């Protein structure tokens, strides 16, 4: 690895007029170089495009893609990924903030890692409110600022399967080869992170640095705030992701881990009275049970 590899930051904007300039400034104020910034506006209907264009007057070297139609995060990201030249990638929402030393610490972790097939280094995040005030930490910390619960590192596949092994996506520095392996984000899904972590952890190792590397903003009516709404398209995508994961599993332990997560989804489907989704998840759980009882895992 070269001493200072190029890092490509893909910043996705949609109706982020109040935050986008602060986010872009957090990129150019990194204590690390070289950085390639690619901005994508997904056909915002507020003044986001105007804010970006005004900011670009002082930063003409930055690449900018303005979508003519709203195509969603996954397609927007994949389009930018095609032109990214960096050895590493960060997927940045235009309302979140990179802390000045974040990338530098993550590159250092890659360079000093004990893992031979490291694909992702992620850290902790400070959760902020819409006005930028402190809310909480993504992973709870003790009085010294260290995470309370130790993170699973290295091979995290079973951990991701069983619990979703929550990873703050914006806190992740990801090797470009990981995205090449994944073929980018799955554009058929309503959200990308769980599917990406499952498929990436099947082949690559993950590492965690116990540092705050980003500030992640909570915004009213965001995708995440609606995660378990009745019949929400995100829940359907979760079912599709877990169904895909069953085809990736290679051991009984992995099937048990997946079964645990599916059971979790069954409970949410029942509570939300999402009966069609409930039936689908019960069917998936039965398929896993059948495999556990009849599959020869040694083959």
Task: Give the span between the Cα atoms of 239 and 36, in whole angstroms.
Answer: 35
How wide is the angle at C-alpha 122 spanned by C-alphas 121 and 126, nearest 5°?
160
pLDDT tens-digit readout, 30-50: 999 999 999 999 999 999 999
Token pair recorded at residue 127: 């959760």
Task: Give the span between the Cα atoms of 263 and 155, in whole angstroms.
Answer: 23
Task: Give the span between the Cα atoms of 152 and 164, in whole angstroms.
Answer: 12
**pLDDT value at 164 more than 80:** no
What is the predicted pLDDT for the residue at 234?
A: 86
Homologous superfamily of 7-225: Spore Coat Polysaccharide Biosynthesis Protein SpsA; Chain A (3.90.550.10)
Token pair recorded at residue 57: 């007057």
Mean pLDDT of 62-85: 97
Token pair recorded at residue 10: 């893909």
What is the predicted pLDDT for the residue at 172?
A: 98
What is the CB neighbour count within 10 angstroms for residue 222? 13
pLDDT tens-digit readout, 3-20: 799 999 999 999 999 999
Could you give the C-alpha distances from 266 to 74, 239, 252, in angstroms and in order?
26, 10, 21
What is the predicted pLDDT for the residue at 231?
A: 47
Q: Rounded to two decimals, what is the model's pTM?
A: 0.92
**Secondary structure of residue 15 in the 3-state scheme:** coil
Q: What are phi and psi of 98, to 5 degrees?
A: -85, 135
Look over the chain and give the mean of its residue pLDDT values, rounded to a whole number: 93
pLDDT tens-digit readout, 219-241: 875 444 444 443 468 889 999 99
What is the pLDDT confidence band of residue 295, given thresholds at 50, 70 and 90? confident
How large is the angle between the packed helices 252-271 and 233-248, nearest 10 degrees? 170
**pLDDT value at 291 more than 50:** yes
Task: Give the span between the Cα atoms of 33 and 49, in whole angstroms.
Answer: 26
Q: Which residues contact 125 (CB under 8 A, 6 or more apart)?
A: 137, 138, 139, 168, 170, 171, 212, 213, 214, 215, 216
What is the predicted pLDDT for the residue at 230?
A: 37
Mean pLDDT of 263-283: 94
**pLDDT value at 179 more than 70:** yes
What is the pLDDT confidence band of residue 55, given thresholds at 50, 70 and 90? very high
């Amino acid at each position: 690895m070269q001493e200072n590899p190029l890092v490509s930051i893909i910043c996705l904007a949609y109706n982020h007029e109040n935050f986008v300039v602060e986010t872009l400034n957090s990129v150019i104020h990194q204590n690390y170089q070289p950085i390639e910034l690619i901005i994508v506006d997904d056909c915002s209907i507020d003044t986001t495009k105007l804010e970006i264009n005004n900011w670009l007057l002082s930063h003409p070297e930055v690449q900018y893609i303005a979508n003519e139609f709203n195509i969603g995060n996954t397609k927007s990201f994949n389009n930018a990924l095609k032109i990214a030249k960096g050895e590493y990638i960060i997927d940045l929402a235009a309302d979140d903030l990179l802390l000045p030393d974040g990338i530098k610490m993550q590159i250092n972790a890659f360079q000093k890692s004990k893992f031979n097939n490291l694909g992702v280094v992620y850290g902790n995040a400070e959760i902020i409110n819409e006005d930028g005030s402190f809310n909480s930490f993504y992973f709870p910390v003790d009085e010294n600022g260290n995470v309370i619960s130790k993170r699973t590192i290295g091979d995290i596949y079973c951990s991701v399967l069983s619990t979703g092994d929550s990873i703050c996506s914006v806190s992740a520095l990801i090797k470009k080869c990981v995205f090449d392996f994944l073929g980018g984000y799955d554009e058929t899904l309503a959200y990308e992170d769980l599917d990406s972590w499952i498929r990436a952890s099947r082949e690559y190792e993950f590492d965690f640095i116990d540092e705050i590397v980003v500030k992640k903003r909570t915004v009213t009516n965001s995708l995440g705030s609606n995660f378990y709404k009745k019949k929400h398209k995100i829940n359907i995508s979760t079912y599709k992701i877990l169904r895909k994961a069953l085809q990736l599993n290679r051991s009984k332990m992995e099937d048990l881990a997946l079964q645990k997560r599916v059971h979790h989804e069954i409970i949410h489907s029942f509570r939300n009275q999402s009966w069609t989704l409930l039936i689908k998840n019960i069917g998936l759980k039965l398929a896993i049970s059948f495999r556990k009882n009849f599959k020869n895992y040694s083959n």
